[in-house]
Amino acid sequence: MKNRKSFLIPIAVKLITISTIIILVTITVSTAVVSGIIRNDVRITAENNNLSLNQHAASEAEIFINSIITNTGLILNLGEFGENSANSTKSKKQNDIFDSMPNIAAIVVPSFAKVVNQQYLQSLGLTENDIDRFIQNEQSNFERAEHGEIILLNASPFFNCNLTALLMPVEFADTQEAVLALFSCESLADTFSSGTNKVLMVNSYGDVIVSDNLSQILDGKNIVNTKIFSIIEKSQSRQQQLIYTDENQNEYFASFSKLLNGELCIITQIDGEIVFEALNRALQQNKWLDISILCAAILFVWFFAKTITFPVETLKSAAQKIKQGEFDVKIDVKSHDELSLLAKSMQNMSTGLAERERLKESFGRFTNTQIAEKAAKGELKLGGEKRYISVCFADLRNFTAFSEKLQAEEVVRFLNKYLERMIGCIGTTGGNVDKFIGDAIMAVWGAPSGISPKQDALNAITAAFLMRYALIELNKTLDGHQIKNGCGISSGEVIAGQIGSSERMEYTVIGDTVNLASRIEAINKQLATDILISEETFNLVKDEIIAEEMPAFFVKGKEDAIRLFAPVALKNTAGTPLQDIEQVENIEQLRNILGYKAPDFTKVDINEEEKKYKIKK
């Protein structure tokens, strides 16, 4: 699975987000709580005011209607009827009556009486004939009134002026007649006017009798199909206050009072938007204030976050340098909080890592890098383990005679130059230098860690090939001196581990495989070769190299002769350190390059080892 690069969210963004959420939640909750309390208070106040207005309007309407009924009865009781009386418009008594009741246009008992306010009718542009036509038009309602009903009608659409008709039963000489009182409710409309609250007086048919909007009366507006009228019809209460939503989903605060046994109803109501207009306006203004506070808070948090992100960026930069192996870093964090403690801890860690790296580097000069790394991590302990390795011994030829001609400093200088090249060849192929034995090198592939027996063996042989060509290049710089060496390689199981005591230890490998490699290295001189490998090593890599089998040798510690092979070249150098080096194809070409003469194998003593000593006679 491919590693996904994590998406980093800056600390400033996190702080701003958290602060914004906290502020928004606080503002939202506090606004909701406060507005809820205020809204409830406003609602209660609106309901109480509307109820008070309704009670007042109902009281005024009741007084007004009762005055009409009373005055109608008073006029009828005067008894000034008859044909002469009805036609005598200048009658002083009638004029006195209408002077006290200027809003009454006429009082009519169709069967025998008609009292008309001629002056008022003329101001309205009406005549008695208009009244007669109205009576004729409302015959059905007159019949209902004769049977005891009180009926209130909006006569304004008929007369095209603001007039209301009241039909009610009246007793005359043991007969019940219907009397019509035709009057104006303008004075009542003036008392209903209340600004934001709307007051209506309607009859049982839903006709608007009184309203502050005269056009509604003249047009004969009817509210029978409205939500409020439906509620009033279904309600058994004489008086009630309520909140309802109309057909357009508008909320209203309403109150109603029923008069004249339900024939008349006073409705007061106010639009909910008007009730909460001031509150909503305050909330809107508060919203802009909240936005301003939020913006100021974001700016404050942003600048505050810089006091955190700047030290964090410094620590991040230092951590990146440490990750890349640059341990000598200077961490300058001046904040007086946990970040300064973290900076000090990171500075101490950096110093410790730098010291550890210097120690590892210094230690690695005396041993191999892998051993130094494991030792620094505390992974090497006293004791050993079995491992399958390939081991190589590389030794200079006749170096003792060569070094006797040089000063000590020149000997050390030459050895360092030689060993630097040889160690480079070993390191390039993943090998580890186990130890230096004078001018000889012991190197191991497969311990403390390896790839596979075959690959470790092939790497050891590749390193020997690199040593061969590195020595050829080195000889070109020695002013005619030709230095030769020999390499012996063997593969097999060994004991690898820390050998020594708890006070002084050395990581090495021991076993017959190591001894065999040392013995094989010494045989190179007799066979005029520079590299020899054991049979087991050859079996591991025979498909990868060109090699020639040499005569078998008896070596110390072995009862049977061992088979030896002289590797000449790799069959395929692509992708290896040898890919840019032109290799030889056979042992003869190799000996020509190295300046070796082919040996006479009939004269070679297979039991002889190279002796680095002789006894003085």
- Kindly tell me if the per-residue pLDDT of 449 is higher than 60: yes
Give 149's DSSP letter.
-
**Which sign does the torsion angle of CA 373, 378, 379, 382 carry?**
positive
The residues with which 113 forms a beta bridge, in sequence order, are: 109
Q: Give the model's confidence band at 154: pLDDT under 50 very low, under 70 low, under 90 confident, else very high.
A: very high
Q: Is the pLDDT of residue 502 over 70?
A: no
Predicted pLDDT of residue 84: 40
Return the pLDDT at 93. 60
- Cα separation, 276 vs 508, whole angstroms: 92
Question: Which pLDDT does position 34 carry in this prediction?
Answer: 83
Mean pLDDT of the 494-499 span: 85
The span from the CA of 182 to the CA of 107, in Å, is: 6
CA-wise closest residue to 255 among 266, 271, 247:
266
pLDDT at 479 over 50: yes
pLDDT at 614: 43
CA–CA gap between residue 597 and residue 599 (Å, rounded): 6
Residues β-bridged to residue 323: none
Annotate 229-269 with DSSP letters as a single string.
HHHHHH---SEEEEEEE-TTS-EEEEEEEEEGGGTEEEEEE
Among 359-373, 408-422, 596-610, the range of highest mean pLDDT: 408-422
**How many angstroms separate the CA atoms of 291 and 186, rounded?**
51
Q: What is the mean pLDDT of residues 167-171?
A: 88
Residues 6+ apart with CB under 8 A from 164: 152, 153, 154, 155, 156, 182, 183, 184, 185, 209, 210
Measured CA to CA, the distance from residue 103 to residue 184 in angstroms comes to 5
Q: Note whether 457 and 431 are within 8 A (CB).
A: no
Specify whether the CB–CB gap between 474 and 418 falls below 8 A: yes
Smallest CA-to-CA distance from 100 within 63, 65, 68 is with 68
Other CB atoms within 10 A of residue 300 CB: 12
pLDDT digits (tens, 9 = 90+) for 52-99: 988 988 998 899 888 888 888 877 776 654 444 444 443 556 566 677
Do residues 93 and 128 touch, judged by C-beta distance below 8 A? no
Per-residue pLDDT tens digits for 226-281: 999 999 989 889 999 989 888 888 889 999 999 988 889 999 998 888 888 887 88
* Amino acid (one-letter) located at 358: R
pLDDT category at 8 given cuts 50, 70, 90 is low
Structure tokens at 31: 């606004």
CB contact set of 475 (below 8 Å; sequence gap of 6+): 481, 482, 483
User: Is 530 within 8 Å of 393 (Cβ atoms)?
Assistant: no
User: What is the model's pLDDT at position 79?
Assistant: 60
> In the prediction, which pLDDT does 537 show?
95
pLDDT band at 317 (very low <50, low <70, confident <90, very high): confident
171 pLDDT band, cuts 50/70/90, is: confident
Whole-model pTM above 0.85?
Answer: no
- Per the prediction, the chain carries an average pLDDT of 82
Specify whether the CB–CB gap between 486 and 397 falls below 8 A.
yes
pLDDT of residue 376: 58
Token pair recorded at residue 250: 């508008």
pLDDT of residue 322: 73
Nearest to 210 by CA among 337, 65, 335, 83: 65
Nearest to 272 by CA among 50, 37, 34: 50
Amino acid at 187: S
Cβ proximity of 566 and 552 under 8 Å: no
At 161, which helix (H) or strand (E)? Answer: none
Q: Is the pLDDT of residue 594 over 90?
A: no
> 315 or 54, which is more confident?
54
233 CB contacts (<8 Å, ≥6 apart)?
A: none
Q: Are strands 531-534 and 104-109 parallel, antiparallel or unpaired?
A: unpaired
Split at pLDDT 50, 70, 90, the class of 482 is confident
CA distance 11 to 212: 64
| Number of neighbours of residue 107 by Cβ within 10 angstroms | 26
Average confidence (pLDDT) over 417-426: 91
DSSP bridge partners of 151? 167
With beta carbons less than 8 A apart as the criterion, state whether 496 and 384 touch.
yes
* DSSP structure string for 385-416: EEEEEEEEEEEESSHHHHHTTS-HHHHHHHHH
* Nearest in space to 75 (alpha carbons), one of 211, 191, 181: 181
Give exposure, 262-298, as e/b (b: 16+ Cβ within 10 Å): ebbbbbbbbbbeebbeeeeeebeeeeeebeeeeeeeb
Q: What is the pLDDT of residue 463?
A: 95
pLDDT at 375: 62
Q: How confident is the model at residue 361 (pLDDT cuts 50, 70, 90)?
A: low
Rounded to whole angstroms, the Cα distance separating 350 from 339 reads: 16
- In whole angstroms, give the CA distance from residue 172 to residue 178: 10
Share of the chain above pLDDT 90, in %: 27
More confident residue, 393 or 344: 393
Rounded mean pLDDT of 501-523?
85
CA–CA gap between residue 447 and residue 21 (Å, rounded): 59
Tell me the two tokens of residue 246. Answer: 């109309």
Distance between CA atoms of residues 374 and 380, nearest Å? 6
Give Dmax over CA atoms of the chain in angstroms. 191
Q: What's the CA gap between 482 and 537, in Å, rounded?
A: 29
Q: What is the pLDDT of residue 561?
A: 86
